[in-house]
Amino acid sequence: MNESDSSKEITLIAAASENNALGKDNQLIWHLSEDLKRFKRLTQGHAVIMGRKTFESMPRALPNRKNIILTRNKDYQAKDAWVAHSIEAALDLTEGDLQPFIIGGGEIYTLFLSIANRIELTRVHSTFEADAFFPQIDTQLWKLEEEENHFSTTDQPYDYSYLTFKKRNS
């Protein structure tokens, strides 16, 4: 696959705080069960591309999805997942999927940002200390298409919004 293959809608999906924090010590910082349900609903049946550290932070490969791990480690192997060593190789593994999802972490989002067409971002309205961050969204290149706001509850301690961005002129 090449970057001009416009039949695919490469989608970055993430939950990031106001300061773009994603995680710390290879763990998510917050737990928003509604966001996890939304993540599952959107990604089910699709290819999901992630970095090695993201894969290793999960208990197992995500069910009902084609798990693709992008790593520089040529000897890396993972149960129930495909391994790729370049963006192109990872995208080749998504053949037949018109909407592969990029699910993290920070370095992987940065690698795919320039070729993605869509961002599904859950913005957690707080700031956190982190060691992994979502890249800054340039509003000259990305247009906010949809916004859905949610307020904190007893089991969801933070206000958050679902934001859908589409790349301008794509």
Domain with residue 74: its CATH number is: 3.40.430.10
Whether 151 has a pLDDT exceeding 90, the answer reads: yes
Does residue 153 form part of some domain?
yes
Residues 6+ apart with CB under 8 A from 84: 49, 68, 69, 70, 71, 90, 92, 93
Q: Give residue 79's domain range.
A: 11-167
Does residue 131 form part of some domain?
yes
Does residue 61 form part of some domain?
yes
Mean pLDDT of the region 114-132:
97
> How far, in whole angstroms, is CA 28 from its chain's centroid?
13
Tally of domains in the chain: 1
Per-residue pLDDT of 42-62, as tens digits, reads 999 999 999 999 999 999 999
- The encoded tokens of residue 33 equal 């069960």
Whether 73 has a pLDDT exceeding 60, the answer reads: yes
- Phi and psi at residue 35, in whole multiples of 5°? -70, -40
Per-residue pLDDT of 19-39, as tens digits, reads 999 999 999 899 899 999 999
Q: CA-to-CA distance for 53 and 73, rounded, in angstroms? A: 12
